[in-house]
Structure formats: C-alpha cells, structure tokens
Amino acid sequence: MTQHSVIVYTSDQCSHCEKVLAKLSEWNIEYKEKNISQDKSYFKELQSQKIYGTPATFINDEKVLGFQERKLKRTLGIQDAGRFQDTDTIHFS
C-alpha cells in the first residue's frame, strides 16, 4: 500500500474524531493527531486553512472534513466493499 502523510485535527469529546482515529487504526494507517483543545497552535493552523471544526483529516494534500468513511477510503486508496464497487454489473433491456 502507498505511504500517505496523514494528519488528523481533533478536539476533546468529539465522537466523530474518535471514529476517524478508530478507522485509521483499523486500516493500519499511520497518522499524526493534533488536538486543538490541548494545543491552541493547532487551532491556529486549522484557522489558516479556513477550517473551524473537527475532525479535519489531511491526507497528502487532500482534506476530508468530518467523518466520511467512503471519502477517507477513496483518498487512501482502500478498496471499498460497499455497493458501488467496480465489479457491479448493470443490465439494461
């Protein structure tokens, strides 16, 4: 699998942040967590990107705001076994 630079901006008591971190761990993706509640300089970094909420995940140069599992998978190049796989066949009559 391709190595990605992953940074996740989180805050205390953020259930969506916990979901993002759990999925990244489940997928064995290394990441750096920056908690804006514990370090205000991280919040300033987010503000400079015009982002004011968490979670905010940066994968290489792409950002994923909130908990968007399918977008995280797509950005990381993880095959999604969901209903929109390339192997789906559509028949027209």
- Per DSSP, the residues of 54-78 read S-EEEETTEEEES--HHHHHHHHTP
What is the residue-averaged pLDDT of the chain? 88
Least trusted range by pLDDT, from 3-7, 70-74, 86-90: 86-90
Measured between alpha carbons, how far is 23 from 26 in angstroms, rounded to an integer?
5
Whether 33 and 21 have beta carbons less than 8 Å apart is answered as yes
Average pLDDT over residues 60-79: 93
CATH 3.10.105.10 for the 6-76 domain, yes or no: no
What was the pLDDT predicted at 79?
A: 78
- In this structure, are residues 58 and 33 in contact, taking their beta carbons and an 8 Å threshold? no
Local confidence band at 37 (pLDDT 50, 70, 90 cut-offs): very high
- Asked whether residue 1 carries a pLDDT value surpassing 90, the answer given is no
Phi and psi at residue 45, to the nearest 5°: -60, -45
